[in-house]
Structure 1
Amino acid sequence: MKRYETMELIRKLVSIPSPSGNTGEIISFIEQYIKDWNVEAKRNHKGGLIITIKGDDEKKHRLLTAHVDTLGAMVKEIKGNGRLKLSMIGGFRWNAVEGEYCEIETSLGKTYTGTILMHQTSVHVYKDAGKLERNEENIEVRLDERVSSKEEVRELGIEVGDFVSFDPRVQLTESGYIKSRHLDDKASVAILLQLIKRIQEENIVLPYTTHFLISNNEEIGYGGNSNIPEETVEYLAVDMGAIGDGQSSDEYTVSICAKDSSGPYHYGLRKHLIQLAKDNNIDYKVDIYPYYGSDASAAIRAGADVKHGLIGPGIDASHAFERTHESSIRHTEALLYQYVQSTLVEG
């Protein structure tokens, strides 16, 4: 069975480790992926990638962004028994990674594998193993190396500050789902790359010069708050729609965000996106995310004078073992395709 091309690209992206602060490998992958396309691409000083397609109007610009950085961890301490304590990168709960396989990358580029576990895991030894708090003190990494002391671990080259990435365990199902860690936000990165490819293949002349920022620090709050050309009028973040009790978003439609923890998104731009969806038979849901922020809201906090919006595929179990359906990917692609060819929002 031939897989939907965007889903295969998502599979490739989630399989490349890229916790916030260590995204060079995946940015290089994207640079190679687009190298034969007729687009301008450059890295910013923070290590993100800015891809630009010139349009008819070069005085008014659009910027779309998705982030390639993910949740992860750093080695905080090498314990006397040869295990590792961790410090979180990004906002997740320790129970979401308990039992997960991981990789530790040393500063010299060597990689070791391990498993994230409670120190008190064995029920044959620890009576209250299931009741103990999942926290920084009790969670540790068991290395797949024959080590039992701090000195033996350091001899491997592992030190405090080394990056730890989580096994994505990506799987595509015959029923159209993709389940994996880090669909937030590599699903959206794949969608933007496919959009750029389609624009090039169909020789579409965009009405406005449009920038695509593949940001690399969103999970820690500042991925897309800079490198915004002063001509930019509209700034659209493409990021996951969060699913749960009281939410409208689902795994089969494109989510359009009205408000998150930063406040309302631009009302006129939101209405414009909804009208584009209605006019083009694109299935969508409007939603509010109470504990969420995006690169677009980071740009507003940084003082960018833009109309900002947020859309994306619906992702179940965000910041844990995530899942979405190809239907949601397709509807998000369709809305973005219409958006980049539409006129700017007035007022």
Structure 2
Amino acid sequence: MPNIIIKTIKVRKHLDMNESYLKEKLLSLLQIPSPSGYTDQIVHHVCRELESLDISYNVTRRGAIRATIPGKSSTLDRAVCVHLDTLGAMISRLKSNGRLAIMPIGTWSSRFAEGARVTIFTQEKKYRGTILPLKASGHVYNDEIDTQPVSWKQVEVRVDAHCYNKSDLERCGFEIGDYIAIDPCPEIDVTGYINSRHLDNKAGAAVLLCVARKIIETNIKPPVDCHLLFTINEELGTGANAVLYNDITEMVVIDSAMTAPNQNSTEQDTTLVMMDQAGPFDYHLNKKLAKLCKENNIGFKKDIFEFYRSDSASAIEAGSDIRTALVGFGVDASHGYERTHISSLVNTGKLILTYIESEPTFKRDEKQMGTIKGFPHQPTRAPINIET
């Protein structure tokens, strides 16, 4: 019999993620309301965490954060980006029945809003309430509760206050334009499944903070400076362009990867997104990330999302000439009551850590413009003919 050689893959021990810290940080982020446009509180929270890790940072006028982990070189800088803002709602009208008409912040269905507990932030105080369909009681409307349309015009907020008409609402201080945050209702069970609203992208932020803590605790010195970007307007279609400067040559975005029929993503693996509605991600950067996964035994999938955009799209559309990639943790029921698994977050963290430790993708990228020398190639060879 021929000798059988079994090749084993040695996984570096320092790639282990601190799951306790990851869960703790995720839960703390989830409990801070941060619908797009109402993100100041979570910006302060993340900055305090960066200070505790002794990581330097700067904050833009509106609140986007750019932190820096120094590397051996200050050229060919790279960035890892997440967003802190979530879906939410806003008061659009004070109704004569003492309830609030609302409009969504971000793109999500009112189907997932029905029944949600919420916090309404007025100028003076905050109130609790519930989003309900206009016809909420079967004892009153019978079968009509099942036939009313699904839309934001078909829901309203019942506030937990003595409000039975428009004057009552005005007396309590409710105004058009007040922000509404949706309760996350997080739950982590013993099997590792994590159910919650706003995993997009509080889970991504928790992963990045977990990786940052790992780097600091183990005294890892990356080959080049790595910037940790926390954006605040991704759900509105803008984000990373506010904290991207010319020193950054490539950026990896962490965000959710949808699991559904006909999708390749799973709730256990990390996902390399090859293309979304904004177009393909960088060929060479994705190739590099796949290689890192294989070399370090990191579970991963590749996928394409037709109705999806991320911080990468806003950066490219703003004119940034950088290589971008999107790494996703598997999420079921995105923009609804979402679910992921701790193993997907861990695999995503391992990939981000190995990426930060890796050498620059191309030395030539140090300059914005240059000659063709050192510019990469993509495979163009014709297939080999096999004679039978």
Please, which moves more after superposition, 256-265 or 198-207?
198-207
Gaps of 5+ in 1: none
Residue 314 of structure 2 is aligned with which of 298, 307, 322?
Answer: 298
Structure 1 position 282 matched with structure 2 position 298: yes
Please, which moves more after superposition, 69-78 or 150-159?
150-159
The aligned counterpart of 2:182 is 166
**How far apart are the structure 1 equivalents of 2:160 and 2:130?**
8
Contact 1:104 1:162 in 2 (8 A): yes
- What amino acid is aligned across from residue 317 of structure 2 in structure 1? R
The aligned counterpart of 2:195 is 179
**How far apart are the structure 2 equivalents of 1:229 and 1:207?**
19
Please, which moves more after superposition, 59-68 or 29-38?
29-38
Percent identity of paired positions between Structure 1 and Structure 2: 36
3-state SS, counterpart of residue 10 of structure 1: helix
Q: For residues 268-321 of structure 1, give each alpha carbon's deviation from its aligned partner in whole angstroms, at most 9, with x where no partner exists.
A: 000100000000000000000110000011101111000000002101110000
Q: For residues 175-211 of structure 1, give each alpha carbon's deviation from its aligned partner in whole angstroms, at most 9, with x where no partner exists.
A: 1111100000010101111111111111111111111
Q: How does 1:191-210 map to 2 (within 5 A)?
A: 191-210=207-226
3-state SS, counterpart of residue 42 of structure 2: helix
3-state SS, counterpart of residue 290 of structure 1: coil
**How far apart are the structure 2 equivalents of 1:216 and 1:325?**
25
The number of equivalent residue pairs is 345
**How far apart are the structure 2 equivalents of 1:136 and 1:192?**
34
Contact 1:297 1:308 in 2 (8 A): no
**How far apart are the structure 1 equivalents of 2:93 and 2:102?**
7
TM-score (norm. length: structure 2): 0.87
Offset at residue 33 of structure 1 (A): 1.8
**How far apart are the structure 2 equivalents of 1:219 and 1:129?**
31
Contact 2:267 2:332 in 1 (8 A): yes
Contact 2:65 2:243 in 1 (8 A): no
The aligned counterpart of 2:239 is 223
3-state SS, counterpart of residue 340 of structure 1: helix
The aligned counterpart of 1:155 is 171
Residue 99 of structure 1 is aligned with which of 81, 102, 115?
Answer: 115
Residue 120 of structure 1 is aligned with which of 135, 138, 142?
Answer: 135
Offset at residue 163 of structure 1 (A): 0.4
Offset at residue 136 of structure 1 (A): 2.4
The aligned counterpart of 2:10 is none
The aligned counterpart of 1:261 is 277
Structure having the higher helix fraction is 2
3-state SS, counterpart of residue 22 of structure 1: coil
Offset at residue 3 of structure 1 (A): 6.6
Contact 1:54 1:208 in 2 (8 A): yes
Q: How does 1:36-55 map to 2 (within 5 A)?
A: 36-55=52-71
- What amino acid is aligned across from residue 45 of structure 1 in structure 2? R
- What amino acid is aligned across from residue 30 of structure 1 in structure 2? V
Structure 1 runs (4+) greater than 6 angstroms displaced: none
The aligned counterpart of 1:342 is 358
Offset at residue 230 of structure 1 (A): 0.4
The aligned counterpart of 1:134 is 150
Gaps of 5+ in 2: 1-17, 363-375, 377-388
**How far apart are the structure 2 equivalents of 1:136 and 1:66?**
28
3-state SS, counterpart of residue 159 of structure 1: coil
Distance verdict in 2 for CA 1:5–1:36, change over 3 Å: closer
Contact 2:64 2:242 in 1 (8 A): no
